[in-house]
Every structure is written in structure tokens, then in C-alpha cells.
Structure 1
């Protein structure tokens, strides 16, 4: 099915736009196409910018105004619906595996882009922060928390003082009260950006904690808080939001960190020995 040219155009220019216009694009992409179908004022209010700022965006992108932009969105939506109907009518059940084949190709392309985005200097800088921090805290949203948990589980084998940010407000407050400049937050924040992640990170930054942010090409609202920013593509495997990209870049970060920790190999050997010793007395954890 054809790519939506409106979404493609918004995505392509996002990084080049002024902050206010980027906020408009972020709202549109987060809730596309519905955010585009209300009034200009409603869209501006959601992005917390003025209507003239929103209006400038659409002229900058080549539309004659907001109404022209909305017409383009509606036109493609109608064509999208017609294409889906044709596909449903003409595709026999025996052709179903082709869907997963296309999803695999999209996932592979997204993974290639992810690995290209994780440059050696970027990984080395993050690895250095992970090695030097007094404590490391991982946090993510409703799905990306799985990548944060993966980071924490693996990194805890390489060094002490690693934990996942707890889920409840009271527990997070207990973490915040002791945070300082020696603490490092590693946050995963993707569309739709998690308010709870933003609230914790901003509070942590106000107490001097440093931030490594892994986000998408449209950037989390926390981008201006990050000491190191990792932008990943978000090509989907069909309708499924990809976690593979986040885990892949996390593994590269862990490799970079391990190379800077002189005693990580010895620590892992000790952990293996302790695990084997305890295995005789305790059941394995799930």
C-alpha cells in the first residue's frame, strides 16, 4: 500500500523546523490523521503554540493554508480506504504469508537504519557515561519499558548500582529525593510520548542527574534535556510497533559500556559462580 505522502513530508522536514512548528508536527504525527481534521486553533492549542505559528508551518511545507493541508489528508485517507477494500476483496487466504513477508522486509530495513544511526562515537560516549556514573536508572513507556528493563538486567551484570525506575509515584519520589549529579538516567521515549516518563526525567534533571535519551526521528519532548540523544527510525512491522530496534541499539550500548569496564569480566564470572551455587538450593526465577 502506498505510503501517505503527507506523513512522509512531515517526517522529512521535522528536524529542520523551528521549535514551535516541530511541536505542531509532533502532534500531527502522534494522532494522525485525526489531529489534522479539527480546527487550526485546536491543533495549535494541543501543540501549545499560537495559531499563526501553525499557519506558517503549512505555508512553509507548500500548502496554500490549513484548509489545503486538510484536503490533502482527506484525499489520501479516502484513497487509503479504497485500497484496503480492494486488497481485502482480491487477496485470497492462501496469499496471507505475503503479509508477514512484507513485515519482515520492513523490519529488516528499519533495523539497518537503526544500526546506521548508532555511530561508534555516539556509542562510545554513552558507554563512557554508563561506566562512570555513580548509579544508572532505566525508564521507559508502556512498551519501551521492556527495552529499559533489558538494559538494566544486562548492565547490572557488568557493574553495581543499576536499577529500573519504579512504577508508582511514591516509589519514584523516594528515588528522586536521593538523586544527584552522579546519577545517570537512560530513558526510552517514543510516540506516543509518556507523560510519566517526562515528569520523572524533568524532576531528575532538576536535581542534577544526567540523561541519555533514546527516541524516534520526531524526538521526544525530552530531547532538550538530554546530554546524549539517540534518534531511531520507527518503521513498523505491519501494524506492530517495533521493539527490535530499541533492543538492538541497547545491545550495542552494552557492548560499548563493557569495553570500558575493566572488571566486568571478573564480575560476570563471579555472578555465574554464585548463580550455580544458589541453583542447588533455590528454584529458578521466571
Structure 2
């Protein structure tokens, strides 16, 4: 397998080959995935010892996964780790060095189109439908939270869900207040989290606390996957790289809007009644300008 940049991560490759691995190789794979990607960055001897397998087992498995050898395997892990911790300046310099000589609009359009296409090929419609059903279930309370950049996405989804159904709460960004929200979470409730690189440590703690209370966690993240994924029951990974110092939220927003439609359509009669009531409230408060 070439070590050049690819949209498929090493964890994707491991999961795709898991059923054909031997018992020892599966033990190694589980160890690698448990603290991914750090668990694969030591020497081949260290990786083998941590997994309780032999060094030949490590060598055989990485070749079975399609890598030329352990150094090629580690090179891919290093590429992924570098990509997830890159700051905006590093991202800009990397793109600028390889930017084609076309207008920014064209470069962005090409990148976004490619991101959307690749993301959709990796999303299972059944998993999307299951997530929509969880959110549409009015017996469940819904909680939402985004990070420093993605909080606007959480707010966008919250605003729409609040119209569609009752029992929707947007969690305050102050981490010290989060235990108060977890206190009210019940088994079967839904916590929707947005976490893309550079992943936020507090989110992992929140997700673990909510999971311990039996909360269903839906995560929107990038292709490298936030550590929150270990606690999530539904994970939607999007391609986010564009020719910019910043990552793109376009594909995640596409998924959000598709999810909004799926949820409102599943309970349209109730949603329509709420919308009518809300429009009446708007009229009474004269928030919006009406045509003369």
C-alpha cells in the first residue's frame, strides 16, 4: 500500500480486514484500535509486547492489511497524527505549496465536491436512518454541543430541532456547567456532539459521563475520528480538508440539513402543529416584517 495521502485511514483498513485476521492478529488489531493511532507508533517489539503477540505476528498483519512492511504502516500513522494536530498556519502552508493555479472559487468547489462524494460513499443509509429515528423519538430528550468552531453547527441543528419537537437542549460551552446537564440525562436520551480536529479534551469526559448513564451519543467528526467515537453509538465522519488554513464545515452542514428533513418528515403532523403555533407567536411579537 502506498504511503501517500489517502482518504482511507489505517483504522478503516484494519476494520475492513478484521474478519480475515487470525486470532492473534485480531488481538493485535484490537490493541491498535484501543488507543489509536498512538498505540502503533512504538517499535515493532513494543507494539507486539503491548498486544501480547509476537513480532512476526505484527509483521504478517501489516502486510495482510496491504502495507509494504511495518515502516510503511507507521509512516501512514504518522501522516494521520500530523494531520489531526496541524494548526491553521501549517494547513495553509501545506495547501499553498500544492495549490493549482486556478481561482479560489474553483479550487474550493472542486474540494467540496470531492469531500461530499467521498463522505457519502462511507455513510451507511441504515445508520443515518437509525440516528434520525433516535432524534425523532419524543420520549427521548435531545442534548447538543459543539466545539470552538463547530458550536455554530450545534446551534444550527438545535434551532431547527427546537421547532420540530420538544425536549431539545443546547449545552452551554462552559465545561464546568456540563455536570448539571448530565444530571438530567436519562437512559435512552440522545447527546449529539460535534468534534473535529484539533479535538477538545473535555468532550471525551462529557461523552463518557453521558454514556455511563445510558445515553445514546451521535458524533459528527472528521475522517480521522474524534476520541469521542469510543463512546458514541453513531459516528458520521466527514471529509473536511479544503485549500485553506481552516477546515470546511460544508459537508457536515449537508448531513445536518438532511437529518433535519428526515426527522421532521417522520413526525410531520406534530411538527406542522408546532410550526403553526410558532408562526402565531412570531406574528404576535412582530419579529418578522410582513408584506404590506
TM-score by length of 1: 0.71
> What are the residue-to-residue correspondences of 1:1-286 with 2, within 5 Å?
5=4, 10-11=9-10, 13=13, 15-16=15-16, 18-22=29-33, 26-27=37-38, 40=42, 50=50, 56=58, 59-60=62-63, 62-66=67-71, 95=101, 97=103, 99-132=104-137, 133-230=139-236, 232-239=237-244, 240-261=246-267, 262-279=269-286
Kept after mapping to 2: 8 A contact 1:188/1:213: yes
| Structure 1: unaligned runs, 5 residues or longer | 29-34, 75-80
What's the RMSD between the two structures over aligned residues?
4.0
Counterpart Cα distance in 1 of 2:188 and 2:235: 19
1:30-70 deviation per Cα after TM superposition (whole angstroms, max 9, x unaligned): xxxxx97xxx37xx89xxx94988x8389546355449956
Kept after mapping to 1: 8 A contact 2:145/2:173: no
Change (3 A) 1:165 1:52: same
1:215: Cα distance to partner? 2.6
1:105-136 deviation per Cα after TM superposition (whole angstroms, max 9, x unaligned): 01111123334445543332122111214310
Kept after mapping to 1: 8 A contact 2:147/2:200: yes
1:199: Cα distance to partner? 0.9
Kept after mapping to 1: 8 A contact 2:146/2:193: yes
1:205: Cα distance to partner? 1.2
Aligned residues: 252
Kept after mapping to 2: 8 A contact 1:158/1:264: yes
Change (3 A) 1:158 1:63: same
Counterpart Cα distance in 1 of 2:161 and 2:77: 47
| Structure 2: unaligned runs, 5 residues or longer | 19-28, 80-92
Match of residue 21 from structure 2: none
1:133-157 deviation per Cα after TM superposition (whole angstroms, max 9, x unaligned): 4310012222222221111111001
Counterpart Cα distance in 2 of 1:265 and 1:51: 55
1:182: Cα distance to partner? 4.0
Change (3 A) 1:263 1:65: closer
Change (3 A) 1:70 1:146: same
Kept after mapping to 1: 8 A contact 2:240/2:248: yes
Change (3 A) 1:278 1:71: closer
1:152-194 deviation per Cα after TM superposition (whole angstroms, max 9, x unaligned): 1110011111111112233211111121114211112223322
1:215-254 deviation per Cα after TM superposition (whole angstroms, max 9, x unaligned): 3333332323222232x33141213311011111011111
